[in-house]
Amino acid sequence: MGRSPCCEKAHTNKGAWTKEEDDRLIAYIRAHGEGCWRSLPKAAGLLRCGKSCRLRWINYLRPDLKRGNFTEEEDELIIKLHSLLGNKWSLIAGRLPGRTDNEIKNYWNTHIRRKLLSRGIDPTTHRPINEPAAAAGASSQDSIKTISFSAANSKEEDDDDDKNTTAGAGSLIITKEDHNSPAAERCPDLNLELRISPPYGQQQDHHHHHHQDPLKTGGIRDTSSSSSCFACSLGIQNSQDCSCSSGGSSNPGYDFLGLKTGVLDYRSLEMK
DNA sequence: AACTAATACAACCGCCGGCTC
DNA sequence: CGAGCCGGCGGTTGTATTAGT
């Protein structure tokens, strides 16, 4: 069924935003907050569609954006999160305060992909390129292995890594069970029995997105001593992947990627 | 200095899922 | 309960900038 366009194309500007449009958008959101994107353009006097306004605000105008180059720590964090989550840019962005999904996506496609390729690592699978993907895939599913992230990024060790730049990420030991999670497919060697716990938001009671966001309702953690499975952690406890009956819970010991240790600045995004 | 290729990144497009009526 | 609306996401494109020749 055809859907009505989000805006009347005939009367909307497209392309790069002008300074004046930016100013209008900023002024409006300062005054009224991020309300209904659909009605915002008209209310703000912008000849843009709501989506365009939202994108401009989220990706560019928001005052809490970090901007500037990605740090080595951020690089490694993105790589590790991507190895777990795949192209879930919004989830990855949820772990990188001040960074947007769009920014991370672009950065991945331009910088990190190349970086991994130069290390001989397939940026999609996070496996060594010369290793046949098929062999690595289904056949190994039943085997249980225990590896660390640093193993997953084996080639990194000689250059900048093994220093566990992301505050202990390298020490995260993951044991694999036979889950069909995307991450498990992507990293067949990884035992992804991880848990999700509040990143930096839940404790601080802020909501960025209203809808499901596993990493926003939970961080990834080692589950060896706790009660819910990776599927639950990803918010899919009703799925067949769920191997437990818990609905997920807080774990005070959580420190995936050193998020609690303050190595990275996991402040609130101040978003509503 | 001029041209071309490569790169970076802002913005758009189409789809999806949750919510509302 | 189902259709439609809306916000959000991921993939892709367009264009400005930079590097190379």
Tell me, in Å, how far CA of A1 is from C1' of C2?
A: 13
The dihedral through the CA atoms of A68, A74, A76, A77 has a sign that is: negative
pLDDT digits (tens, 9 = 90+) for A10-26: 567 888 899 889 998 99
State how far the alpha carbon of A109 is from the alpha carbons of A83, A87, A89, in Å. 14, 11, 12
* Residue ranges near strand C (C-beta within 7 Å): A 1, 3-4, 6, 15-16, 36-38, 50-51, 54, 87-91, 101-102, 105-106, 109, 209-211, 213
More confident: A103 or A66: A103
- The nucleotide lying nearest A105 (C-alpha to C1') is C10
- The nucleotide lying nearest A211 (C-alpha to C1') is B18
Tell me, in Å, how far CA of A106 is from C1' of C21?
A: 28
Quick check: A84 pLDDT over 80?
A: yes
What pLDDT score was predicted for residue A208? 37
Inter-residue contact A165 to A72 (CB < 8 Å):
yes
What pLDDT score was predicted for residue A131? 62
pLDDT digits (tens, 9 = 90+) for A101-129: 899 998 998 888 888 888 888 888 888 87
More confident: A260 or A62: A62
What pLDDT score was predicted for residue A116? 86
Tell me, in Å, how far CA of A79 is from C1' of C11?
A: 19
- The nucleotide lying nearest A15 (C-alpha to C1') is B11
Tell me, in Å, how far CA of A213 is from C1' of C8?
A: 11
Quick check: A245 pLDDT over 70?
A: no
Confidence of residue A36 (pLDDT cuts 50, 70, 90): confident
Quick check: A60 pLDDT over 60?
A: yes
The dihedral through the CA atoms of A223, A93, A203, A215 has a sign that is: negative
All residues at 6 or more sequence positions from A187 whose CB lies less than 8 Å from its CB, including other chains: A83, A84, A125, A126, A127, A152
**Domains of chain A in sequence order:** 9-61 (1.10.10.60), 72-258 (no CATH)
More confident: A50 or A164: A50
- Which of left, alpha, beta for A26 (phi over 0: left; psi -120 to 50: alpha)? alpha
Quick check: A188 pLDDT over 60?
A: no
Q: Which chain C positions come under 7 Å from a protein C-beta? A: 3-12, 15-16
CB-based burial label for A185 (10 Å; 0-12, 13-18, 19+): middle
Tell me, in Å, how far CA of A213 is from C1' of C10?
A: 15
pLDDT digits (tens, 9 = 90+) for A189-218: 444 444 444 444 333 333 333 333 433 333
Tell me, in Å, how far CA of A68 is from C1' of C18?
A: 17
Rg of the Cα atoms in chain A: 20
Quick check: A97 pLDDT over 50?
A: yes
